[in-house]
Amino acid sequence: MKHVGYENAGTVEFLLDEKGNYFFIEVNARLQVEHTVTEEVTGIDLVHSQIRLAEGKTLEELGLIQEKIKARGYAIQCRVTTEDPAKNFQPDSGRLEVFRSGEGMGIRLDSASAYAGAIISPYYDSLLCKVIARSGNLEGASRKMIRALKEFRIRGVKTNIPFLINVLKHERFNAGAVDTYFIDENPDLFHYLPSQNRAQKLLNYLGHVLVNGPLTPLATDLKPAETKVIPPQTTVFPDDPHFPQGFMKILRQGGPEALAKAVRQHERLLLTDTTFRDAHQSLLATRVRTKDILKISPYVAANLPELFSLENWGGATFDVSLRFLKECPWERLIAMREKIPNIPFQMLLRGANGVGYTVYPDNV
């Protein structure tokens, strides 16, 4: 390194054989991801040091004198990645639905793009987080690392955590008697129980029941409390000669041009009632059904005939009807027209062709 005039922090790699002989491999003109182990056992901030060296400081000025650098304790680093050990460590990609890391005394976390909602792309490094455990001996560092890894909760993508835990539990690893054949000679490292993911399954089930109702009959004979909503009564119906006429009559008799002309000549504010669509996609958990809408429709037709329109379709209404309510949205429009013949229906038109309560691929 002196011969080539190298001045800064770097990584020198060697191989060590069973007889204790060292064999030089290469020099990396940068810090490797494993530099955290050196930092933990020496107390030296290598990243900060290399920046100060690049600024012109000397090793002596930074207090980096070889004779004074002592290693204290043991440190282990695990790279938590979105790699599937069962598929030859093939990188996985997708959305992180849940991300919670393990922490505690003697644990250091160097995180990458790891948070709930993060998109793990197949085009970049699969690293989520570097976990570094430090203790006074190798066994203690290994125990801390196992505890921290078990506390991780990552959902949405596969990770290498089960494999790492198996390595940390292995007798040869904790004895420090491992070599480059360790993984090949121990296929049992790939034998582990998959995550049961009980908490997320339970939450998904509760959400499903909240929105769709129970999938089975109730376990007791006790009936749930009933709340009857009685819609306002109306005395005028579409077949009555005194039934009020609205903008729908103009549209039927004169077509779109006549309707547009009537709008331009209208001197007062025109109103559109959006509650038929908004209620359908509201905090009522998207559970306003056709039967609920039809109950109030006669009252709207008789008492709000001067409305310009009713916004009752478009947006995510079809998605809600078909995906959750198991209803036909077109049959709903036909039934509503029978109940409300005097007010035009309006559709919410978006600039995207895929709107719904789910995640769609980018090419939809």
Q: Mind telling me the catalytic residues?
A: 30
Find residue 74's DSSP bridge partners. 135
Write the DSSP assignment of 276-299 as a string of letters.
Answer: HHHGGGSTTTS---HHHHHHHHHH
* The pairing of beta strand 309-314 with beta strand 272-273: parallel
Place of tokens 């990770």: 159
| AA identity, residue 309 | S
DSSP designation for 194? P
* Residue 207: φ, ψ to 5°: -65, -40
Token pair, residue 134, equals 């430090």
How far apart CA 229 and CA 361 sit, in angstroms, is 41
Contacts of 290 (CB under 8 A, 6+ apart): 325, 327, 331, 332, 335
Whether the Cβ atoms of residue 150 and residue 102 lie closer than 8 Å to each other? yes
How far apart CA 282 and CA 279 sit, in angstroms, is 5
How far apart CA 112 and CA 131 sit, in angstroms, is 11
How far apart CA 85 and CA 349 sit, in angstroms, is 46
Q: If we measure between CA atoms, which residue out of 357, 337, 253 comes closest to residue 297?
A: 337
